[in-house]
Amino acid sequence: MAPKKQPLENESSTPTAIPGLNLNQLVDHLPCYITIQDRDLRILFVNDKFKKDFGNGVGKKCHTVYKCSADICPNCPVQKSFENRCAHIAEETVKLANGGISQLLIQTSPIIDNNGVVTAVIEMATNITQQKKDRKELVTLGQSIALLSHGIKNILEGLQGGAYIVDEGFKDGDIAMAQKGWNIVNKNIFDIADVVQNILYSSKDRPLKYERVSPGQLVKDSLALFREKAAGLNIELKQQINESVPGVRLDIASIRRMLNNLIWNALEACLNDKQKNDHFVSVKTDLLDDDHFIFEIADNGIGMDQDTQRNIYEEFFSTKGSSGTGLGLTVVEKVVNRHGGKIEVTSTPGKGTTFKLIFKIK
Ligand SMILES: Nc1ncnc2c1ncn2[C@@H]1O[C@H](COP(=O)(O)OP(=O)(O)OP(=O)(O)O)[C@@H](O)[C@H]1O
Ligand SMILES: [Mg+2]
């Protein structure tokens, strides 16, 4: 028989080597949730971190604590470890005691006694909510770059074309030609700024900066940006402002972005409607009741069928081919949600569309 190895001085793998830390405390200090469960998925042991976020679940079934559900999760890794005596990994969305939702990476391992029987399963769950969010943002960014590169290329070609006409105009001393080129450059600068701002708004949540502002003034400012464009497209821009809507606290930059996206969509809807000759886009702000006010953007453009209406807030959903990135309404919805507001849409194909945005007066 090989001689038993004597531990060297200070050589020990047990946590008691760290003064004041025993095995239980070590488990409590782990930055993940530890549970031990029996064959019925009844919790036998939990560490401190688990108790803090889910309450003391000992004696309860795992799925009732993690999911508030009477049903066992499909593909439960604990059950699998009982069945095949192997380690398993799964991802689950769970509900915390405070009502929050978290995503967990779950790893399970069987505890096997001397007779080879699985007596329990130990489960280690790591909160990966932030990592999932970061991953989603990266995926969105990757998709954005792929999808947007085509649209951006078109705009850059427009810029080059405009700049060329400006050059030629100057070379020939033809100011009218230079002016025409400059208008093209200007339009494309506007378009590229719009695309870039939508990418930024849809991919990153910057903190909102609330300031008191008059909704009527915001409507006037946004309409001013589109006056020339609408006139060039022969679309009438109407404005209806109820001056008794009081100043309200809003994040001005994001509300402007929201209005610009809706007005531009309305203009494009008119442009794409080949059935009518006279088109309008009307922008209104009014009181809804004592506590709420509205912005309303209406057009008599091409309208939307039910299928389109169901998808309009989806990221990258667009019916405009390479001239639409499909981010405009994603940004609109995000801005409204972050302000605690509500959107109502009514649309009839061939007749037009109305977006009504309802906000609390605060
Ligand atoms: N006023 C409207 N009338 C008719 N269809 C609309 C209107 N507003 C939005 N849509 C539909 O919703 C889709 C999504 O709009 P969204 O603004 O998100 O993207 P987009 O306009 O296609 O591209 P972009 O990101 O450049 O704004 C549009 O492609 C269009 O089909
Ligand atoms: Mg749009």
144-157 tens-digit pLDDT = 777 778 778 888 99
Determine which of 2-6, 104-108, 240-244, 349-353 has the lowest per-residue pLDDT on average: 2-6
223-233 tens-digit pLDDT = 999 998 899 99
Residue 336 Cα to ligand 2 middle (Å)? 16
Sequence-distant (≥ 6) Cβ neighbours of residue 201 within 8 angstroms: 254, 257, 327, 331, 334, 335
Q: Looking at residue 8, what is its pLDDT? A: 46
Domain 15-127 has CATH 3.30.1330.30: no
As a whole number of angstroms, the distance between CA 144 and CA 160 comes to 23
Domain boundaries, the chain: 15-127, 136-204, 207-362
Residue 295 Cα to ligand 1 middle (Å)? 18
* SS3 track for the chain: CCCCCCCCCCCCCCHHHCCCCCHHHHHHHCCCEEEEECCCCEEEEECHHHHHHHCCCCCCEHHHHHHCCCCCCCCCHHHHHHHHCCCEEEEEEEECCCCCEEEEEEEEEEEECCCCCEEEEEEEEEECHHHHHHHHHHHHHHHHHHHHHHHHHHHHHHHHHHHHHHHHHHHCCCHHHHHHHHHHHHHHHHHHHHHHHHHHHHHCCCCCCEEEECHHHHHHHHHHHHHHHHHHCCEEEEEEECCCCCCEEEEHHHHHHHHHHHHHHHHHHHHCCCCCCCEEEEEEEEECCCCEEEEEEEECCCCCCHHHHHHCCCCCCCCCHHHCCCCHHHHHHHHHHHCCCEEEEEEECCCEEEEEEEEECC
Report the half-sphere exposure of 322 (CA within 13 A, side-chain side): 8
As a whole number of angstroms, the distance between CA 352 and CA 297 comes to 11
257-315 tens-digit pLDDT = 999 999 999 999 999 999 999 999 999 999 999 999 999 999 999 999 999 999 999 98
Q: What ligand 1 atom has the least distance to the C-alpha of 317?
A: 14
Which ligand has its closest atom nearest to the C-alpha of 267? 1
Contact (Cβ atoms closer than 8 angstroms) between residue 356 and residue 344: yes
Task: Decide if pLDDT at 159 tops 70.
Answer: yes
Q: What ligand 1 atom has the least distance to the C-alpha of 195?
A: 26
CA nearest 286: which of 328, 248, 254?
248
Q: Looking at residue 7, what is its pLDDT? A: 47
Task: Decide if pLDDT at 12 tops 90.
Answer: no
Task: Decide if pLDDT at 3 tops 70.
Answer: no
Ligand 1: lining residues by beta carbon, under 6 Å: 198, 261, 265-266, 269, 299, 301-304, 308, 312, 317-320, 324-330, 353
Q: What ligand 1 atom has the least distance to the C-alpha of 308?
A: 31
Q: Looking at residue 115, what is its pLDDT? A: 94
* Mean pLDDT of all residues in 31-42: 97
61 DSSP β-pair partners:
42
Contact (Cβ atoms closer than 8 angstroms) between residue 104 and residue 125: yes
pLDDT-derived band of residue 1, with 50, 70 and 90 as boundaries?
Answer: very low
Domain 207-362 -> CATH class: alpha beta
* Closest CA to ligand 1's atom 31: 319
* Closest CA to ligand 1's atom 26: 324
* Mean pLDDT of all residues in 180-208: 89
Determine which of 217-221, 245-249, 321-325 has the lowest per-residue pLDDT on average: 321-325
Q: Looking at residue 203, what is its pLDDT? A: 76
98-131 tens-digit pLDDT = 999 999 999 999 999 999 999 999 999 999 999 9
pLDDT-derived band of residue 323, with 50, 70 and 90 as boundaries?
Answer: confident
* Closest CA to ligand 1's atom 11: 312
Does the pTM surpass 0.95? The reply is no
Contact (Cβ atoms closer than 8 angstroms) between residue 354 and residue 346: yes
Number of Cβ within a 10 Å radius of residue 63? 18
Return phi, psi of residue 318, to 5°: -150, 145
Q: Looking at residue 14, what is its pLDDT? A: 52
Which ligand has its closest atom nearest to the C-alpha of 264? 2
Residue 323 Cα to ligand 2 middle (Å)? 9
118-127 and 101-112 strand pairing? antiparallel
Q: Looking at residue 178, what is its pLDDT? A: 96
CA nearest 221: which of 245, 205, 241, 199?
241
As a whole number of angstroms, the distance between CA 281 and CA 4 comes to 89
As a whole number of angstroms, the distance between CA 206 and CA 183 comes to 33
Q: Looking at residue 172, what is its pLDDT? A: 96
Substitution candidate for ligand 1 out of 318, 333, 343 with most atoms within 8 A of CB: 318
Return phi, psi of residue 358, to 5°: -110, 125
